[in-house]
Amino acid sequence: MLLLRRVCFLLPSPSPRAPLAKPLPLPLRPPRTLAPAARPLASMAAPAGGTAATSRDAFRAAVTNTLERRLFFVPSFKIYGGVAGLYDYGPPGCAVKANVLAFWRQHFVLEEGMLEVDCPCVTPEVVLKASGHVDKFTDLMVKDEKTGNCYRADHLLKDFCKDKLEKDQTLSPEQAEEYNKILAILDDLSAEQLGAKIKEYGIVAPDTKNPLSDPYPFNLMFQTSIGPSGLSPGYMRPETAQGIFVNFKDLYYYNGNKLPFAAAQIGQAFRNEISPRQGLLRVREFTLAEIEHFVDPEDKSHPKFGDVSDLEFLMFPREDQMAGRSATRLKLGNAVSEGTVNNETLGYFIGRVYLFLTQLGIDKDRLRFRQHLPNEMAHYAADCWDAEIECSYGWIECVGIADRSAYDLRAHSDKSGEKLEAHEKFAEPREVEKLVITPSKKELGLAFKGNQRMILEALEAMGETEALEMKAALESKGEVEFKVCTLGKDVTIKKSMVSINIEKKKEHQRKFTPSVIEPSFGIGRIIYCLFEHCFYLRPGKAEDEQLNVFGFPPLVAPIKCTVFPLVKLEKFEVVAKKISKALTAAGISHIIDMTGNTIGKRYARTDELGVPLAITVDNTTSVTVRDRDSKDQIRVEVDEVASVVKEVTDGQSTWADIMWRYPAHTASVAEDEEAEP
């Protein structure tokens, strides 16, 4: 989604969160009675004598270290020193991403009957000129005056204010108020205002302490040219949405000329971020999953709103943000009926996004829906909400859900000359009053010669009020001065040159430009937050030893199950292979580990990969199945084990359901987890 001004994604919480105070370094495994997700960040510990910030840093370091070591993701082109803002997903990362996207397709495309498309990343300039990206998709940048290093101006000011607020013990209440105010209005500052504040506070280049240039706009699109001539400019798309808008006419036809309908697209987006940071959260190439739901602007009700209206979750309406209050738990049905959320369809998608994220494993207490402040919204938007997820970097915008009215289709209609409209056939013809403007080509030609066409078009484009004012003036005075923007001057229009009338007409249908409601998902951001929300530590075998676990729900776990022979014996290996075959036939991703490592080490390794179930072959007729989070084990017949695993990993049964059906197995000391060397 293009906003006229880009919005910083790490908004300051208007009310400061409670200090993080528990004297433990990292989130430990919650007691068994709690959900498998790790404890909320707010209860994450600060080390004795340490600060919340150091605790957050330690937590992030532990997560990132595990992710990179286990090849979930790594910096791209690492052997050549890497490139900021570009990352590769390794095998488990790819599997998690594929699972997230498969669930997205199931939850949105399949369940809502959306029309999926797949458009090119390389986009001709004309498309992005029409959408406004060529002129307005910019961030304000400053340069180190000596080295030429580039920084985002608002990030430097934000870091300065946050640093002062967090670390400066000598800050007066007035200064603190000023810094807080700047954080709140950061997105609203012009280049001049940002530059003035940077100068006033003496902010310099963070790496060299050199002076900085004045801020100036930098377009974030990667430019290219299409074909060898270099004459056809293009860009790598900064979002997938435009591909859907330009196909509206065909998609509407494909849908039987009926509204509402939604189109969806998953694909890569490219943004040449000025100073990418925060790992997967701000990158230069990322996967977007976008929905464009086209709806009649006069009827934004949704037939399935009742399915989500009882949901209750954290919402942060703009009034609460501006009054310095915190997000509160609201019932979605009330938020729509009381007008907090603009319309049912927007509310429906907010509810569906909530269900999607929480079913993936995002902690509902660290998920909020924040409404855009008036200054954040594009002038044409009716209402916008961001699904923000709290992680060690703060509250991160992961999904934007916007009612963009008819802006995008109108922009492409105007530029391409192709009418991107819908129509509603009336059951009975309706009598309507219509403004009819009929310019006289002959009179205009005689008076204005070569300028005739532009004046004619300007007359035809008049709105109702302007036309009626002209009619009144022509009737009373016989002529009127008329501004023609395309000529850049006023011309005198005489009564003989145009007739303006209100006529009664019978209409059989109504033509209109549909509104679009757009949920836009940053898949990398969701995945990173999921990694943090699922990560926890639990004590190992040795004293003081802490083991890393990713408590992924089976739905997103990269590998659903492991198979280990307890000891290296041929008869156990035969059974392990037989089970592996059955798992493959059932479509369950798994690994079979025949290494002679101790079972404890093998458990520790798969826990770090977030594998929910482990089968240990300690017998030729029955085997044990271990649940990652509770470490409980049951004994299951060899022939049954693949279907038991499938039941749990497909979500048909929970582990608790299964525990009732099979005898428990007590783990021996040898099976306790050990850290890998």
Q: How far is the CB of 395 from ligand AMP (least distance, A)?
A: 12
Q: How far is the CB of 398 from ligand AMP (least distance, A)?
A: 5
361: left (phi over 0), alpha (psi -120 to 50) or beta: left
Cα–Cα distance measured from residue 409 to residue 431, given in angstroms and rounded to the nearest whole number: 28
Number of helices (H) and strands (E), helices first, in the chain?
21, 29
Q: How far is the CB of 273 from ligand AMP (least distance, A)?
A: 5
Q: Per rule CB under 6 A, is residue 288 in the interface with ligand AMP?
A: yes
Q: Given candidates 56, 70, 237, 271, which one binds ligand AMP under the rule CB under 6 A?
A: 271
Q: Given candidates 139, 144, 273, 608, which one binds ligand AMP under the rule CB under 6 A?
A: 273
DSSP state of 374: G
Contact between 594 and 568 under an 8 Å Cβ cutoff? The reply is yes
Q: Per rule CB under 6 A, is residue 97 in the interface with ligand AMP?
A: no
# residues near ligand AMP by CB under 6 A: 16
Write the CB contacts of 210 (distance below 8 Å, at least 6 apart in sequence): 144, 145, 146, 147, 204
Write the CB contacts of 134 (distance below 8 Å, at least 6 apart in sequence): 125, 128, 219, 221, 235
Q: Per rule CB under 6 A, is residue 524 in the interface with ligand AMP?
A: yes
Q: Per rule CB under 6 A, is residue 673 in the interface with ligand AMP?
A: no
Q: Given candidates 25, 514, 522, 610, which one binds ligand AMP under the rule CB under 6 A?
A: 522
Span near ligand AMP by CB under 6 A; candidates 138-146, 199-207, 424-432, 521-529: 521-529
Q: Given candidates 344, 397, 593, 607, which one binds ligand AMP under the rule CB under 6 A?
A: 397
Span near ligand AMP by CB under 6 A; candidates 102-110, 394-402, 443-451, 507-515: 394-402
Contact between 133 and 217 under an 8 Å Cβ cutoff? The reply is no
| Residue among 282 and 370 whose Cβ is closer to ligand AMP | 282
Q: Per rule CB under 6 A, is residue 152 in the interface with ligand AMP?
A: no
Burial, 107: exposed, middle or buried (Cβ in 10 Å; 0-12, 13-18, 19+)?
A: middle
Question: Which of 240, 238, 285, 236 has its CA nearest to residue 117?
Answer: 240
Other Cβ atoms within 10 Å of 254 Cβ, number: 12
Cα–Cα distance measured from residue 273 to residue 256, given in angstroms and rounded to the nearest whole number: 41
Span near ligand AMP by CB under 6 A; candidates 360-368, 392-400, 406-414, 644-652: 392-400
Question: What are the Cα distances from residue 475, in Å, to 271, 342, 442, 494, 495?
Answer: 56, 43, 20, 10, 7
Cα–Cα distance measured from residue 357 to residue 343, given in angstroms and rounded to the nearest whole number: 21
Question: What are the Cα distances from residue 636, in Å, to 10, 617, 618, 631?
Answer: 49, 10, 11, 16
Cα–Cα distance measured from residue 93 to residue 68, given in angstroms and rounded to the nearest whole number: 10
Q: Per rule CB under 6 A, is residue 39 in the interface with ligand AMP?
A: no
Cα–Cα distance measured from residue 100 to residue 102, given in angstroms and rounded to the nearest whole number: 6
Q: Given candidates 92, 400, 553, 612, which one binds ligand AMP under the rule CB under 6 A?
A: 400
Span near ligand AMP by CB under 6 A; candidates 35-43, 108-116, 282-290, 577-585: 282-290
Q: Given candidates 525, 538, 560, 605, which one binds ligand AMP under the rule CB under 6 A?
A: 525
| Residue among 275 and 597 whose Cβ is closer to ligand AMP | 275
Q: How far is the CB of 153 from ligand AMP (least distance, A)?
A: 17
Residues 448-467, one symbol each (x = binds ligand AMP by CB under 6 A, - = not), give --------------------
Span near ligand AMP by CB under 6 A; candidates 203-211, 361-369, 393-401, 478-486: 393-401
Binding site for ligand AMP (CB under 6 A): 1, 239, 271, 273, 282-283, 286, 288, 397-400, 520, 522, 524-525
